[in-house]
C-alpha cells in the first residue's frame, strides 16, 4: 500500500478540481460538523489545495468522539466513486481511524512549478480596456512587455530653455494659443460638456 496521503489525494483530485466544486463538496460533507470549514482556504492549484486540505483535517482531529474529520470526508464520497475506489476508501478509513501517522510530504516540484506558472500568467493578464493585440499572450510574454519609454536627459538647461522659447514663438506665429500647453487638470472633464451654457462654474476652494 502506498503512502496514505497519496491515496487520499488520488481519490479527491477528480472531485475537487475548482473552487466551486471544493466548496460544494466540503459543505455537504461537513454539514453536521462545520468546525473544520473555517480553517480551509479553497483556492490554489489542485495538488497544493489537497495538501492543504488533508493537513488541516489531520490537525483538526476528531469532529466527534471517535470520528476523525478526514474520515467524515472520505465517508461522504463513497457513493460518488466506483467499486474499486470504495474498497480503497474502506482500507484508508481503517488507517485513519486507527490513528495512522500523518507524513507531510508536501506538494511535488512539478505541482509547485505548475502553480507558479498559472499564478504568473494570471498576474500578467491585462484588463479588458487594453487593446486586444496587447492582451494576447505569447510564448515569450505579453506584447505589452515590449513597450519601452524613452527618456531624454538634458544636461544643459540653458540650451533647453532657448529651445522652449523658440518653440513657443513658432507656436504663436501659427496661431496656437500658449495656454493650451499649460497644465490644467480639469480641462478634459467630460461632465463640463453636459453643463448648461448659462451655468456658472463651481468656485475653487483655497487650500491652506
The percentage of residues in the chain with a pLDDT greater than 70, rounded to a whole number, is: 72
pLDDT at position 149, please?
A: 77
Indicate whether 201 pLDDT > 60: no
In tens, the pLDDT along 122-131 reads: 777 777 777 7
Residue 139 has pLDDT above 60, yes or no: yes
Q: How far apart are CA 106 and CA 102, in angstroms?
A: 12
Q: CA-to-CA distance for 36 and 66, rounded, in angstroms?
A: 16
pLDDT of res. 116: 86
Convert the pLDDT of each residue in 159-180 to its tens digit.
888 888 888 888 888 877 666 6
pLDDT at 22: 92
Is residue 144 very low, low, confident or very high in pLDDT (cuts 50, 70, 90)?
A: low
Per-residue model confidence as pLDDT tens digits over 69-99 = 888 898 888 888 888 888 888 888 887 877 6
Please report how the helices 69-76 and 83-97 are oriented relative to each other, as an axis angle in degrees rounded to 10: 170
Using only the alpha carbons of the chain, give its radius of gyration.
Answer: 32
DSSP 8-state symbol, 152:
-
How far is the CA of 125 from the CAs of 128, 132, 136, 207, in angstroms?
A: 9, 11, 9, 40
| CB neighbourhood size of 71 (10 A) | 20
- DSSP structure class, residue 101: P
What local confidence, expressed as pLDDT, does residue 141 receive? 63
The confidence score (pLDDT) of residue 203 equals 54
Statement: residue 3 has pLDDT above 80: no
Is the pLDDT at 63 greater than 80? The verdict is yes
Pseudo-torsion of CA 84, 86, 90, 92, nearest 10°? 80
Question: Nearest 10 degrees: CA dihedral of 108, 72, 2, 82?
Answer: -100
* pTM value surpassing 0.75: no
Q: Does residue 143 register a pLDDT over 80?
A: no
Cβ atoms of 54 and 22 within 8 Å: the answer is: no
Q: What are the C-alpha distances in Å from 170 to residues 23, 99, 167, 177?
A: 68, 87, 5, 11
The mean pLDDT of 195-206, rounded to a whole number, is 55
Q: What is the pLDDT of residues 12-43, one digit of tens each?
A: 998 888 989 999 999 998 998 888 888 888 88
Amino acid at each position: 500500500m502506498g503512502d496514505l496521503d497519496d491515496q487520499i489525494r488520488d481519490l479527491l483530485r477528480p472531485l475537487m478540481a475548482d473552487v466551486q466544486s471544493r466548496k460544494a463538496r466540503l459543505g455537504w460533507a461537513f454539514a453536521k460538523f462545520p468546525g473544520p470549514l473555517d480553517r480551509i482556504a479553497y483556492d490554489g492549484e489542485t495538488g497544493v489545495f489537497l495538501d492543504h486540505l488533508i493537513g488541516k483535517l489531520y490537525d483538526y482531529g476528531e469532529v466527534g468522539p471517535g470520528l476523525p474529520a478526514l474520515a467524515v470526508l472520505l465517508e461522504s464520497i463513497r457513493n460518488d466513486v466506483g467499486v474499486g475506489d470504495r474498497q480503497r476508501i474502506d482500507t484508508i478509513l481503517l488507517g485513519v481511524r486507527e490513528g495512522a501517522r500523518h507524513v507531510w510530504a508536501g506538494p511535488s516540484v512539478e505541482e509547485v512549478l505548475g502553480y507558479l506558472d498559472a499564478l504568473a500568467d494570471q498576474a500578467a493578464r491585462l484588463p479588458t480596456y487594453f487593446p486586444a493585440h496587447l492582451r494576447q499572450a505569447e510564448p515569450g510574454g505579453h506584447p505589452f512587455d515590449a513597450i519601452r519609454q524613452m527618456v531624454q536627459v538634458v544636461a544643459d538647461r540653458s540650451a533647453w530653455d532657448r529651445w522652449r522659447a523658440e518653440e513657443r514663438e513658432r507656436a504663436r506665429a501659427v496661431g496656437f494659443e500658449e495656454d493650451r500647453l499649460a497644465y490644467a487638470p480639469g480641462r478634459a472633464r467630460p461632465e463640463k460638456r453636459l453643463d448648461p451654457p448659462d451655468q456658472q462654474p463651481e468656485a475653487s476652494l483655497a487650500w491652506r
